[in-house]
Amino acid sequence: MALRHRVPVKLRLHWKLVALCVAFLAACWGVFGTGTIRPYVTTGQAASPGTVVRDIAGTEDLFDPSVSHEVKLTFRDEAYEDMLGEYFKDGEKKYVEADLTIDGTTIPSVGIRLKGNSTLRGLTWKGQGRTGGGNPPEGARPPAGVQRPGGERPAGGQPRGGGFGAALKAEEPENLPWLISFDEFAEGRRYQGRTQVAVRPAGVASTAVLNEALGISVVGAAGEPTQRSTYGSFTVNGRTSAPRLLVEYLDEGYAESLGDGVLYKSLATGSFTYKGEDQTEYVEDFKQIDKVGGKDLQPVIDLVRWVNEASGEEFAAGLADRLDVESFARYLALQNLMINFDDMAGPGRNYYLWYDLGTEKFRVITWDLNLAFNGDATAGPDDTIGMGGGRGPMRTGHPLKEKFLADAGFKKLYQEQYRELYAELLAGGGATELLDGLVTAYKLNGGADAAKVDAEATSLRTLLRTRTDSLRSSFSGS
């Protein structure tokens, strides 16, 4: 595979134009000497941000769970080691140029980088962990007695599904979590409408990360915006892995699928605190995904200020003018039902905000469910889900969530949505059916370990039964 040096995309695409301009200026210098030259600026056909130049169709719908999928990556070892050096030095996740083949369609020069925060805490290279990143923070380990679904304690006392300190080795790139970017080195290129796809890790604690796949499916079944996902065999530089979970990324294409609006990602480095009207003060809090240059962060800043400054009465009266409150109640109910600690109020601040330009209202979108369905299956609808799935105080919190649940009217809406979700997904067996479908999809792919995935599924089914039985008393007679 011939890989180009990392020259900026626009320069690579328009080198002839650049060369012509240089030659013209040189000629002018020769003719006019040291006289002043006032150049006219010429704009080439470079793609503006978000412009689709090429959308690769592929041979199969990447997220069709009824067929097997195959993903192959090839890159230079030297480039990979340089990337690792940067990551282990300062934590920067740089892109490596690679060739990708998906279901028989070859896509040259994609960008790949490591993905995750807590997932990578246990990553080692040459037997060493990254300085300051090898262990979970104090208090991050599950409380004593917290068990995996089915009563099996996770290896090393860690949560299932590739959470804090998952055992990963840089020498085994086929098992690492990756983010694949189709347009990093080819501006304007997409694959089936997407600019990015995530590949979840393969680790000793979880063969198929079924808990995350189930969480994604459950959110979709509840009628909330979710990600598509599926399983596929995965190979890196000829090294094969068990089938990996491929997950849709919330990129520009995803935003377009939601309608006419703007998508914002909450960042793990940020908060939901009003810092004034200077938008540069919020660069560590939110990232705008689409319509960059056309829209800005002002709607988010307005929401943050209002939520933090509104009195209880103002909040109750005015929230529905700014937020889809029914959807938000469903979001909060789902996080509790799935025993997901790391939601919008968790340490990862995992959520997106969708701003509908027509209604001028926000919607909170679920993001990152690698810690879902993990821990204390007996936690009630009003219990705070603690780190590792146990019950306990939140370590970060979120003003919007806290004010919403503190209001009697919104709390009633939360309980109503929870009751409906419980009836359909747990008591009605919806979640178990989704789990069965995921196991079937996993086994379609080469390298599938049927025994391990069946054991993982059995553990999750036990958790779902316990969760159903435990919550029944909360909704009996309703």
Provide the domain count of the chain.
3
pLDDT at 375: 81
Across the range 42-60, mean pLDDT stands at: 68
DSSP state of 73: E
Give a yes or no: residue 302 inside a domain.
yes
Co-location of 236 and 372 in the same domain: no
Q: Of 185, 218, 253, which residue sits at a domain end?
A: 253
Using pLDDT thresholds of 50, 70 and 90, give the confidence band for residue 157: very low
Q: What is the average pLDDT value for the chain, to the nearest integer?
A: 84
pLDDT at 138: 34
Query: What phi, psi does 352 have (nearest 5°)?
Result: -120, 155
The rounded percent of the chain whose pLDDT value lies above 90 is: 73
152, pLDDT greater than 60:
no
* Domain that residue 375 falls in: 258-475
Co-location of 284 and 244 in the same domain: no
The rounded percent of the chain whose pLDDT value lies above 70 is: 79
Q: Which of 277, 210, 309, 249 is nearest to 111 (CA)?
A: 249
SS3 call for 443: helix
pLDDT at 209: 94
147, pLDDT greater than 70:
no
Co-location of 307 and 418 in the same domain: yes
- Tens digits of residue pLDDT in 219-261: 999 999 999 999 999 999 999 999 999 999 999 999 999 999 9
The tokens of 440 are what? 């079937």
* Amino acid at residue number 414: Y
Q: Of 253, 279, 295, which residue sits at a domain end?
A: 253
141, pLDDT greater than 50:
no
Using pLDDT thresholds of 50, 70 and 90, give the confidence band for residue 207: confident
6, pLDDT greater than 80:
no
pLDDT at 466: 97
Place of tokens 């959520």: 351
Q: Of 253, 274, 297, which residue sits at a domain end?
A: 253
Co-location of 196 and 326 in the same domain: no
427, pLDDT greater than 60:
yes
Co-location of 69 and 202 in the same domain: yes
pLDDT at 39: 29
Give a yes or no: residue 354 inside a domain.
yes
Co-location of 116 and 235 in the same domain: yes
Co-location of 17 and 67 in the same domain: no
Asked if 210 and 261 touch (Cβ cutoff 8 Å), the reply is no
Co-location of 466 and 356 in the same domain: yes
Instruction: Reduce the secondary structure of 102-124 to three states and give it as a string.
Output: ECCEEEEEEEEEECCCHHHCCEE
Give a yes or no: residue 57 inside a domain.
no
Give a yes or no: residue 398 inside a domain.
yes
Co-location of 339 and 324 in the same domain: yes
Co-location of 10 and 113 in the same domain: no
Give a yes or no: residue 147 inside a domain.
no
Give a yes or no: residue 316 inside a domain.
yes
pLDDT at 144: 29
Across the range 83-107, mean pLDDT stands at: 96
- Tens digits of residue pLDDT in 370-384: 999 988 999 999 998
Co-location of 444 and 361 in the same domain: yes
Higher pLDDT, 260 or 42: 260
Asked if 392 and 386 touch (Cβ cutoff 8 Å), the reply is yes
CA 395 to CA 397: how far, in whole Å?
Answer: 6
SS3 call for 4: coil
CA 305 to CA 318: how far, in whole Å?
Answer: 13
Co-location of 245 and 265 in the same domain: no
Higher pLDDT, 164 or 384: 384
Give a yes or no: residue 53 inside a domain.
no
Give a yes or no: residue 58 inside a domain.
no
Asked if 218 and 431 touch (Cβ cutoff 8 Å), the reply is yes
CA 312 to CA 265: how far, in whole Å?
Answer: 27
pLDDT at 131: 66
